[in-house]
Amino acid sequence: MFSDINRCKLDPRLILPEIPLPKAFVYPALRSTRDNFKCPSCDQALILQAESQPQTYRCNNQHSFDLAREGYLNLLLAQNKRSRNPGDSDEMIRSRQRFLNAGYYQSLSDAIVTAVAKAHSGTEQTVLDLGCGEGYYMQQLRIASGQGARGQEADEQNPSATNTTKLKLLGMDISKLAVRLAAKRNMDARLAVDSVYNIPLFENRIDTAISVFSPISVEETARVLKPGGKLIMVGPGAQHLSGLTALIYEQSLPHGGNTAGLEQAAQFTLLETIEVKQTIVVTGSDILDLLKMTPYYWHSRPEQQEMLAKLDKLETLIHFNLNVYQNQSN
C-alpha cells in the first residue's frame, strides 16, 4: 500500500518526498483595475489580454468581450436589449452627425467646453459623456484640451490651447452605430455600447459627467461620480428650434427637457444654469438633417417634410440650458 511506504524501514534516501495532491486547474487571477470598464455579467474588472487577436477584454470569471476594429467595447448584453437596434435610429444618428459637423451648434459646444473646464480643477479630469451619440461634443472637448488624438501635448488642430489639465474621455451610448461613429473620430476616448441605466464603471471614478439631450439614471450617475463631482445636463430652452417647429405645429409646444427627476434628487444640488441662445441660418440639405435628428421628424407630415426639403434656408433660434449639478453622495 502506498500509504505504508513512509512507515517501512527502508533506507531513508530511497523515500520519496511527499507529492502534493493535484489541485483543479485555476486561471491566474487577473489584475483588478477599477478604472477599467466592468463586466456586465459579473461586475468584475475587464482586463485587456496580452497579445490577444482581436484585442480581448476578459474578467476573472472568463467573460470576454472583443474590442471592435474601430476601438470600442460592446457591453450591452442581449438580455438587456429592448429591441434589436436600441437607441436612436441609424438615420437619426447619421443626420445628427452631418448637422453637428457643419458647426451649427458651435455656440453650445463652446459653452460645454467652458462648463467642463470650470467644473474641475486639478491636473487630470475624467469626463464621462452619457448618451454620447456619435461623439461630436467629446471631440470638441478633446480639441479644446490641446491634447491630440494620441494624447500628445501639442495638437495641430488647436496649437494655441493653454489647458494644462489632462483630459480622460469616456463615452457610452446604447446605439452601436453611434458608438462606432464616435470611435471613428479617433479622439483618444474609451467607448462602450451600454445603457446609462447600468453604467459599466466602478463607483467614484468620474470627475464630470455630461448628458446632452440624453436620458440619465440619477442613481447610476451619482454612483460613478466622485463625491463632489459635477453633472452637466444639456437640454432645450423654451424657444429651441422655434423657426422649425413653427412650420410643423400649429401651436408652439413646451419642451419636456431631460432633467426630470434631478430637481427632487437628494444626490444632486443645482449649482447654476447657463443659457445659450442664438439665431442660426440652416441651408440646403442641412434643413432636412435638422428635422431628422429631432423627434419632430416623427410628428411631421410627408407634405411638411417635402416643403422643408425644398427650402433653401431656414432661420431659427437655437436655445439651450446647461444645468450644472454637484454630486452630494459620498
> Which position among 30, 39, 130, 212 is part of the footprint of Zn ion (CB under 5 A)?
39
173 touching ligand SAM, by CB under 6 A:
yes
Decide whether 167 or 172 has the Cβ nearer to ligand SAM. Answer: 172
Looking at the chain, how many residues does it have?
A: 330
61 near Zn ion (CB under 5 A): yes
Could you say whether residue 290 binds ligand SAM (CB under 6 A)? no
List CB contacts of 10: < 8 A, sequence separation 6 or more. none
Residues forming a β-bridge with 193: 74, 173
- Nearest alpha-carbon partner for 171 in 198, 202, 196, 148: 196
Stretch that binds ligand SAM, among 33-41, 141-149, 189-197, 270-278 (CB under 6 A): 189-197
Q: Give the helix/strand (H/E) hosting 66.
A: strand 64-66
Q: Give the Cα-Cα-Cα angle 202, 265, 127 (nearest 5 degrees).
A: 40
Residue 117's closest CA among 220, 230, 259, 275?
A: 230
Q: Is 197 in the site for ligand SAM (CB under 6 A)?
A: yes
- Partner whose footprint covers residue 173, from Zn ion, ligand SAM, none (CB < 5 to 8 Å by kind): ligand SAM
**Residue 175 lies near ligand SAM (rule: CB under 6 A):** yes
Q: Quick check: helix, strand or coil at residue 294?
A: coil
236 scored as a contact of ligand SAM (CB under 6 A) = no
268: left (phi over 0), alpha (psi -120 to 50) or beta: beta
Question: Any contact of residue 100 with Zn ion (CB under 5 A)?
Answer: no
Cα-Cα-Cα-Cα torsion 302, 305, 309, 314, nearest 10 degrees, comes to 160
Sites for ligand SAM among residues 63-122 (CB under 6 A): 87-88, 96
Q: Which is nearer to Zn ion, 77 or 149 (CB)?
A: 77
* Minimum distance of ligand SAM from residue 197's CB (angstroms): 5
Stretch in the footprint of Zn ion (CB under 5 A) among 61-69, 139-147, 243-251, 312-320: 61-69
Interface contacts to ligand SAM, rule CB under 6 A: 87-88, 96, 131-133, 136, 173-175, 178, 195-197, 212-215
